[in-house]
Amino acid sequence: MLSLLVLSAQVQAKNKILGKQAPDFTATTLFPDGSVKDFHLHDHMGKKIVLYFYPMDNTPGCTKQAQNFRDGIAKLDKQGISLVGISCNSIESHKRFQKKYNLPYPLVSDSRLHRSIGKKYPGTVSFGCYKRKTFLINKQGCVFKIFDKVNIENQIEDILKAFEQEPCK
């Protein structure tokens, strides 16, 4: 019974954002060139965007996911898809993570205290930490696909396929 309630809550949360305008946010971000500045989602409207939420820098699963994105970023770039990673880690943690794994995409810091972005994107926060979840946003700024269960090995192909089949072009 409890699992049905949890599933129902997840479906309701997903329905609050799926097919709707992506919630805007501004957050301190580490960019691939090492610069730290604010990232404003609204500045990227008109582009295809992947927002991937992940629990924590330098943990086995998150590292594997980040490396997979790093290794597949050229495929996303070729299709005009921008990638942004979001976690509750600090910019200093992101700097170490980015440098260690040579990550060529922005890493957003959504403070452990506020998690303001997570509050706008339903189902991303669990027990005070981010869950692994990916949101696809089309050129019109609409969230058209949410990956609740991320298959790290196939995430690039899954994302490319979803954008190819996007219903809201």
DSSP string across 90-146: -HHHHHHHHHHHT--S-EEE--TTT-HHHHHSTT-EETTEE--EEEEE-TTSBEEEE
Catalytic residue IDs? 62
- Evaluate whether residue 14 is within a structural domain: no
Q: Which domain holds residue 82?
A: 22-164
Give residue-wise pLDDT tens across range 56-91. Answer: 999 999 999 999 999 999 999 999 999 999 999 999
* 5 domain residue, yes or no: no
Give the chain's domain count. 1
With respect to residue 4, please indicate whether it lies within any of the assigned structural domains.
Answer: no
User: Coil, helix or strand for 14?
Assistant: helix
Residue 52, helix vs strand vs coil: strand
- 148 lies in some domain: yes
Torsion, Cα 88 24 156 132, to 10 degrees, reads: 30
Asked if residue 101 belongs to a domain, the reply is yes
Indicate which CATH number applies to the domain containing 96: 3.40.30.10
CA separation (Å) from 64 to 23, 57, 77, 78, 155? 27, 10, 20, 22, 11
User: Is 17 within the bounds of a domain?
Assistant: no
Classify residue 28: in a domain, yes or no.
yes
Q: Is the overall model pTM greater than 0.85, yes or no?
A: yes
Residue 10 lies in a domain: no
Over residues 4-55, the pLDDT tens digits come to: 334 444 444 455 899 999 999 999 999 999 999 999 999 999 999 999 999 9
